[in-house]
A = this chain, B = another copy of it.
Amino acid sequence: MPEFFNVKPPRCALEGLLSRLKIDTRSELVPTTEALGRVTTGDIISSEQLPAFPRSSMDGYSVRAKDTFGATESLPAYLEVSGEVLMGASPEVRVRPGYAAIAYTGGLLGEGADAVVMIEHTNRVNDKTVEIVRPVAPGENVIQQGEDIGTRDTVLKKGHQIRPQDIGALMALGITEIAVAARPRVAIVSTGDELVSPEMTPSPGQIRDINTYTIAAAVTQAGGVPVPIGLVQDDYDAQREAALTGLTNSDILVFSAGSSVSSRDMTAQVLDAIGKPGILTHGIAHKPGKPTVIALIDNKPAFGLPGNPVSAFVVFGILVRPTIHSLMGYKMPLRSSTVVARLSRNVSSMTGREDHVPVNLYEQDDVLIAEPVFGKSNLIYTLVRSEGVVVVPLDSGGLYSGDEVTVTLY
């Protein structure tokens, strides 16, 4: 009976792949307004400053700060109103010593003014005169030229994933187009004589394909483009043909099923035969997902995921998703989507193996509880019924009820 002799910890297996991969991120120009979620391929540098002129951060009066020194409620400073700086207009109003000009939030100061008194600290005595009841320091309530961002500043670093605020900030500088990583194309092949397309009614012994669809959606979510190649039978030549087709049109190849070591399992053979260096890892120290194949084929990563839909989905998350991110040059820490909770009961594991435990979350006395989802771990509906996953680390024999755990949300 063949066995896995050299299972590798998932992290080592992934590093083994990425360290051998020559990453050459393809770049494409997109309108900034369509760049949400895309990843920059170079530093983006500002060619202007923001704000372009000193702006008032309050409604009130622009003044020379010196003219307000010592002003109090009982002994106000009286300034003459020289006019109003309208929004969007050039400052045609001068603020000479002893003068003030009406200023609006976001607007310019009068020429010669160096601070703004909030309207709350003024009383308009008459058309010509305003009373100032608190002093301001030079620069007070003013956003200086370039205070938000300066000329030649780095706006966004290379490898940054674009968020809504980044889009607004780029548009503020007139940067209406940016270079981002092309979405990696991921070819998906589902293998197995028992598989039929979901539109069909399976005969006894047949089942509908799940992996093509779960993996395609996960590819989209990770920022890639899924390229489904279709269903392939347990036949060496057919699988080899599908692998070659997938690799021609894509950056990454994902097989599912056939990744174990029995006579029916041909993925490792197929992936090893079609290019160099071939198989890097066969077997990872992870549950579920031990029978996993990692290969590098003429500088394109290829994966043989287990046929079980839960295992395939889990291994996708620990190996394929980070590979998609690497191909895009994604540099931000992957901190998203975790919550801290207390485990509702003991979970056993094995030292030397990383375990993936699906959980549900609920609140009890204001404490977030993670409840491991019952059911055999290889049923797709255990994933549907769970909100996230707790990872039992490689060096742990299990977790105890009441332990604080980090739940990665699906």
Residues of A near any B CB (own CB < 8 A): 1, 32-33, 36, 50-53, 57, 59, 85-91, 104-108, 119-120, 143, 147-149, 155-156, 163-169, 171-174, 176, 192-195, 198-211, 213-218, 220-221, 234, 260, 262, 264, 307-309, 313, 333, 335-340, 361, 375-376, 378-381, 383-384, 387, 409-410
Q: Report the separation of the CA atoms of residues A3 and B141 in the bound assembly, to the nearest whole angstrom.
A: 19
A156-B384, A192-B106, A198-B172 as given contacts; A165 in contact with B410, CB under 8 Å: yes
Residue of B nearest to A3 (CB): B120
Question: Which 10 residue pairs across A and B have the least CB separation, nearest first?
Answer: A168-B214, A164-B217, A88-B194, A88-B193, A165-B383, A171-B198, A168-B210, A148-B379, A164-B218, A87-B193
Partner of A205, one of B88, B143, B335, B383: B88
Partner of A176, one of B36, B198, B202, B308: B198
Residue of B nearest to A166 (CB): B384
* Additional A-B contacts beyond A86-B205, A164-B218, A168-B210 (14; CB < 8 A): A51-B207, A87-B194, A105-B308, A106-B192, A106-B207, A108-B205, A119-B262, A143-B376, A143-B379, A147-B375, A147-B379, A167-B217, A168-B309, A171-B213
Q: Report the separation of the CA atoms of residues A380 and B260 in the bound assembly, to the nearest whole angstrom.
A: 52
Q: Which residues of chain B are within 8 angstroms of A384 by Cβ–Cβ distance?
A: 155-156, 165-166, 169
Q: Which residues of chain B are within 8 angstroms of A172 by Cβ–Cβ distance?
A: 198, 207-208, 210, 309, 380
Partner of A174, one of B156, B201, B211, B307: B201
A164-B214, A379-B147 as given contacts; A203 in contact with B169, CB under 8 Å: no
- What DSSP secondary structure best describes chain A's contact surface? loop
Residue of B nearest to A149 (CB): B381
Q: Report the separation of the CA atoms of residues A375 and B150 in the bound assembly, to the nearest whole angstrom.
A: 14
Min C-beta distance of A289 to chain B, whole Å: 14
Residue of B nearest to A200 (CB): B174
Q: Which residues of chain B are within 8 angstroms of A164 by Cβ–Cβ distance?
A: 214-215, 217-218, 221, 313, 410
Residue of B nearest to A37 (CB): B221
**A106-B194 in contact (CB<8A):** yes
A87-B192, A376-B57, A376-B147 as given contacts; A209 in contact with B165, CB under 8 Å: no
Q: Which residues of chain B are within 8 angstroms of A148 by Cβ–Cβ distance?
A: 379-381
**A213-B143 in contact (CB<8A):** no
Q: Report the separation of the CA atoms of residues A192 and B339 in the bound assembly, to the nearest whole angstrom.
A: 41
Min C-beta distance of A361 to chain B, whole Å: 7
Q: Which residues of chain B are within 8 angstroms of A88 by Cβ–Cβ distance?
A: 192-195, 205-206
Q: Which residues of chain B are within 8 angstroms of A214 by Cβ–Cβ distance?
A: 164-165, 167-168
Min C-beta distance of A378 to chain B, whole Å: 6
